[in-house]
Amino acid sequence: MKEWFGLVARLVTGVVWIVAGAVKLPDPASSVQAVRAYQLLPSAIVPTVGQLLPVVEIVVGVTLVLGILTRGAAVVSALMYLAFIVGIGSVWARGLTIDCGCFGGGGYDPNAASQYPWEIARDVALLLLSVYVVVVGRTRLALDNVLFRATPQLKDSEHGEQVSP
């Protein structure tokens, strides 16, 4: 049951990452602008983060959906959600009004403040799902189960032909 719920958590967080990354991919300039709007990072590394982020989001999303190195991908995913929660919280605390740029867009937005609680709540939920995947580690229908199953010889000698996780 845990492993099935782990699969659901993997798919939800993974699909969110893929969508978030794919939406940003066509326009790196606006992704950079969105990062700049947080006024958190030194301006010298803002472009790098803005250009890197969509790619990392997609790769993390794909690994989660496929279940490759599930635990590691979930750790990265959890850290990234944590970073976004901190980022949005900090923007909120400093009284800046920006579009979080979570799914494209970004930059100054005079009506943004009302969005912050909902954005943080969403990211906390996704953070918890990621942490759940880290904790269970093994999930159903993951490529990991194929890549890292016991070697055939060991299976034969230890458990016979049929090994179920």
Partner 1 sequence: MANKSARDTRAERAAVALKEQQRRERRRATLMIGGVVLAMLVIVAGGFLINRARDTSANVSAAPAGSGSYGVTIGSKSAPNSVVIYEDFLCPYCGELEKATHSQLATLADQGKVYVEYRPFNLLQTDYSVAAASAFKVVLDASGPQVAKKFHDLLYADQPAESGPYPDSQWLVDKAVEAGAKESAVKSGIENETQKAWVESATKSATDAGVRGTPTILVNGKVFQDGRTVDELAQNLLSAVQ
Q: How far is the CB of 108 from partner 1 (least distance, A)?
A: 7
Q: How far is the CB of 52 from partner 1 (least distance, A)?
A: 5
3-class state of residue 72 by DSSP: helix
Close Cβ partners of 42 (under 8 Å, ≥ 6 residues apart): none
Q: How far is the CB of 39 from partner 1 (least distance, A)?
A: 5
Q: How far is the CB of 134 from partner 1 (least distance, A)?
A: 16
Close Cβ partners of 112 (under 8 Å, ≥ 6 residues apart): 97, 98, 99, 100
In a 13 Å sphere around the CA of 153, the CA atoms on its Cβ side amount to 0
In the complex with partner 1, the residue whose CB is nearer, 58 or 129, is: 58
In the complex with partner 1, the residue whose CB is nearer, 14 or 54, is: 54
Which stretches of the chain bind partner 1, using CB under 8 A? 25, 28-30, 32-33, 36, 39-44, 46-48, 50-52, 54-56, 58-59, 63, 68-69, 72, 107-108, 110-111, 147-148, 150-151, 153-154, 157
In the complex with partner 1, the residue whose CB is nearer, 4 or 148, is: 148
In the complex with partner 1, the residue whose CB is nearer, 4 or 107, is: 107
Q: How far apart are CA 105 and CA 107, in angstroms?
A: 7
In the complex with partner 1, the residue whose CB is nearer, 47 or 89, is: 47
Burial class (CB in 10 A: 0-12, 13-18, 19+), 1: exposed
Q: How far is the CB of 135 from partner 1 (least distance, A)?
A: 19
Q: How far apart are CA 64 and CA 156, in angstroms?
A: 30
3-class state of residue 113 by DSSP: helix
